[in-house]
Amino acid sequence: ATGVAGCGSLDREVSGELLTSAARLPKPYGTPLPIPRTAVPVRTAGGVDRYELVQRVAEAEILPGLKTEVWGYDGTFPGTTIAARSGRQIVVNVRNELPAPTSTHLHGGIQAPASDGYPTDLVAPKGYRHNPGGPGHGGGHEGVMHVAPDDWTVTRLAKDYVYPLDQPAATLWYHDHRMDFSAPQVWRGLAGMFLVHDDEEEALGLPSGERDIPLMICDRAFDEDGALRYPSLDPSLTGEPGVEDAYMEGVTGDVVLVNGAPWPELEVAAARYRFRLLNASNARRYRLALEPGPREGASFTQVGSDAGLLAAPRSHDELPISPAERYDVVIDFSRYPVGTTVTLVNRIGEGSTRRVMRFRVARAAKDDSRVPRKLADVEPLAASAAVAERQFDFRQTQVEGMKVWTVNKKPFRSDEFLARPRLGTVERWRFTSDFHHPVHLHLAHFQVLARSGGDVLPTDGGWKDTVDVRPYEVVDVLARFSGHRGRYMFHCHNLEHEDMAMMANFQVV
Ligand code: C2O
Ligand code: CU
């Protein structure tokens, strides 16, 4: 009962999927939604809050009655949530007690290169011998083709990541970014939510406290004994038909987790709730919807996108979400009679991945939250603001007889730069692709200007840091390079594509 289902083709929504033994599949909605713990600073000095996260191996009960080994920030999956304030610098000390090196990236954060979690900027655990030419942990090639021997930085045991947070309220997240191993390491659990708050956002009166809930959505597959399955970590998968294709297209599993629990249930009051939706999957995309929809009005009122609040709320009945994208939405459960169960479904899922989680409207309640018509000042960028135009093609190419994922036909090289934007300027970047590639820029937030020369999606609004470039589509964005100079990267956020070197550098000058 294990293996890979389906076959790969560009127009299939999901191709090969790793399967969990049917006997082990939990019954949906049997687990209450877990809420990750929120970090408390270990100390505050000179107005800077200091946090400590310890990466370690831990056991979690994800499938009822079974133990799953996870790699977690603070030993949990998702990791501890960090809730910080705009304009107030924090330091996060990440200590590595795992059996492998890591690099932590604050996704959507505007931080200096030294704190950006560059893939070769490693935090190495005790006893780890850095040997970039040799075999890596997981049997990989550890940067052999992509990194010059002197382009590694190895920090022992722990590293301070400095986050100035000179950016508005937003739903960010942090995750592992180790060269060649981000996909298996995130699959094992190395990801957490990171919320930025500010005064303007808090003055809006949006649902808050227990009615402001992060939902980290991702898919996984499990062995008979509860272990996470992943091609390069699971010898039993080697040589199975379809595994190669599944790996090329990105690894997906048949169990959908929300905050680390399979198809959980949340009991809600008949009131408005704010949900920070994150797709933390390695490769799976979802098209989220509510079933049934509300008696009146749209299912979701979107108040924010990847990098901050929208200028004004937008209504949607469906939210297409690709890996690493976020939607900050309000759902109004007072539009349902008490006693209703409302399922968050995935309209492009098949079988077990068609459902995500369930809400049970349990009681009437007082609600003094609101969604004002104006949310934040979002300066719409005009195409004429761009001082340069560049084009990047995300495509599979043959390099020395091997199929590889590339940007402009080049596999990643840590010492090559595909762009040198000037600090403080706006550029127009055009992405083309042969497949679904969720393109993510570090540092620079952007606005989506056009899809194949025409309209953008209703869900493309606001400041973003990740955009799903769909097969054979041309996506134009206006990106602002501000905050810091230096080396940053952009890449496909399908984590298997990323590990297969679909990444590139830009240098802010
Ligand atoms: Cu969320 Cu470079 O990644
Ligand atoms: Cu990709």
Q: Which residue CA neighbors atom 3 of ligand 1 most closely?
A: 107
Are 450 and 426 in a shared domain?
yes
Contacts of 442 (CB under 8 A, 6+ apart): 105, 116, 488, 489, 490
| CATH number of domain containing 302 | 2.60.40.420
Contact 275, 329 (CB under 8 A): yes
The SS3 call for residue 54 is: strand
pLDDT of amino acid 443: 98
Q: Which of these, 164, 192, 181, lies nearest to 128 by C-alpha position?
A: 181
Residue 75, by phi and psi: left (phi above 0), alpha (psi -120 to 50) or beta? Answer: left
Is 21 contained in some domain?
A: no
DSSP state of 102: B
The residue among 443, 418, 440 whose CA lies nearest residue 498 is: 440
Say yes or no: CB of residue 211 within 6 Å of ligand 1: no
| Cβ count within 10 A of residue 385 | 14
Q: For residue 1, tell me if it sits in a domain.
A: no
Query: What was the pLDDT predicted at 404?
Result: 86
421 lies in the same domain as 494: yes
What would the pLDDT profile of 327-380 be if each residue is shown by its tens digit?
999 999 999 999 999 999 999 999 999 999 999 999 999 999 999 999 999 999
Q: Is the ipTM of this complex over 0.85?
A: yes
Report the share of the chain in percent with pLDDT over 70. 94
Buried b (16+ CB within 10 A) or exposed e, 463-487: bbbbbbbbeeebbbbbbbbbbbeeb
Radius of gyration of the chain (CA): 21
Q: Same domain for 339 and 417?
A: no
Query: Which residues are within 8 A (CB) of 274 and not within 5 positions of it... i.e. 6 or more apart?
Result: 206, 207, 208, 211, 212, 213, 303, 328, 329, 330, 369
For residue 250, what are the contacts with CB-CB under 8 A and spacing of at least 6?
Answer: 282, 283, 284, 494, 495, 496, 497
Distances (CA, A) of 256 to 107, 225, 239, 263: 22, 18, 25, 6
Is there an atom of ligand 1 within 6 Å of 497 CB?
no
> Would you give the distance in Å from CA 239 to the centre of its chain?
29
Kindly state whether residues 42 and 73 are assigned to the same domain.
yes
| Same domain assignment for residues 105 and 178 | yes
Choosing from 317, 335, 364, the residue where a domain stops is 364
Task: Please report which ligand is nearest the Cα atom of 438.
Answer: 2
- Those residues whose C-beta lies under 8 Å from the C-beta of residue 25, and which sit 6 or more positions away, are 63, 254, 255, 352
Question: How would you write the pLDDT of the chain (509 residues) with one tens digit per residue?
Answer: 334 443 333 333 445 689 998 889 999 999 999 999 999 999 999 989 999 999 999 999 999 999 999 999 999 999 999 999 999 999 999 999 999 999 999 999 999 999 999 999 999 999 998 877 654 433 345 566 788 888 999 999 999 999 999 999 999 999 999 999 999 999 999 999 999 999 999 999 999 999 999 999 999 999 999 999 998 777 677 667 677 777 888 999 999 999 999 999 999 999 999 999 999 999 999 999 999 999 999 999 999 999 999 999 999 999 999 999 999 999 999 999 999 999 999 999 999 999 999 999 999 999 999 999 999 999 999 999 999 999 999 999 988 888 889 999 998 999 999 999 999 999 999 999 999 999 999 999 999 999 999 999 999 999 999 999 999 999 999 999 999 999 999 999 999 999 988 999 999 99
Q: For 189-222, what is each residue's pLDDT tens digit?
A: 999 999 999 999 999 999 999 999 999 999 999 9
Last residue of a domain, one of 143, 177, 199: 199
Looking at the fold, whether 188 and 40 belong to one and the same domain comes out as yes
Nearest CA to 396 among 437, 346, 424? 437
Is 317 among the domain residues? Answer: yes
Quick check: CB of 24 below 6 Å from ligand 1? no
> Quick check: helix, strand or coil at residue 246?
helix
Q: Residue 185: its pLDDT value, please?
A: 96
On whether residue 20 sits in a domain, the answer given is no
pLDDT, position 1: 31
Range of the domain at 68: 33-199
Tokens of 296: 């009146």
User: What string of DSSP letters covers 432-475?
Assistant: EESS-EEEEESS-EEEEEEETTBPPPGGG-S-BSEEEE-TT-EE
Q: How many structural domains comprise the chain? A: 3
**One domain, residues 83 and 177:** yes
Taken in order 433, 439, 444, 446, is the CA torsion positive or negative? positive
**377 Cα–ligand 1 center, Å:** 26
Residue 259 sits in the same domain as residue 388: no
Do residues 298 and 232 share a domain? yes
For residues 235 and 194, state if they share a domain.
no
Question: Which residue's CA lies nearest to atom 1 of ligand 1?
Answer: 107
Determine whether 334 is exposed, middle or buried from the number of CB atoms within 10 Å of its CB (0-12, 13-18, 19+).
middle
Among 180, 199, 218, give the residue marking a domain's end. 199
- Other C-beta atoms closer than 10 Å to the C-beta of 297 total 12
487: Cβ below 6 Å to ligand 1? no
Q: 500 CA distance to ligand 2 centroid (A)?
A: 9
Is 23 a domain residue? no
Does 26 fall in a domain?
A: no
CA distance 173 to 278: 8
DSSP state of 388: E
Whether residue 315 sits in one domain with residue 430 = no
State which residues have CB under 5 angstroms from ligand 2, the bound ion: 437, 492, 494, 497
Residue 321 CA to residue 459 CA, distance in Å, equals 9
Confirm whether 356 is domain-assigned.
Answer: yes
Structure tokens at 37: 């713990």
CA of 364 to the centre of ligand 1 (A): 41
**Domain identity same for 355 and 260:** yes
**Gap between the Cα atoms of 435 and 470, Å rounded:** 6
For residue 274, tell me if it sits in a domain: yes
Q: Which secondary structure element, helix H or strand E, spans residue 182, and what is its range? A: helix 182-187
Q: How far is the CA of 303 from the centre of ligand 2 (A)?
A: 28
Q: Which atom of ligand 1 is nearest to the CA of 107?
A: 1
pLDDT score recorded for residue 72 = 98
Q: From ligand 1's centre to the CA of 170, what distance in Å?
A: 16
Q: Are 263 and 219 in contact (CB under 8 A)?
A: no
Question: Tell me, what's the pLDDT at 383?
Answer: 97
User: Rounded to whole angstroms, how far apart are CA atoms 220 and 353?
Assistant: 10
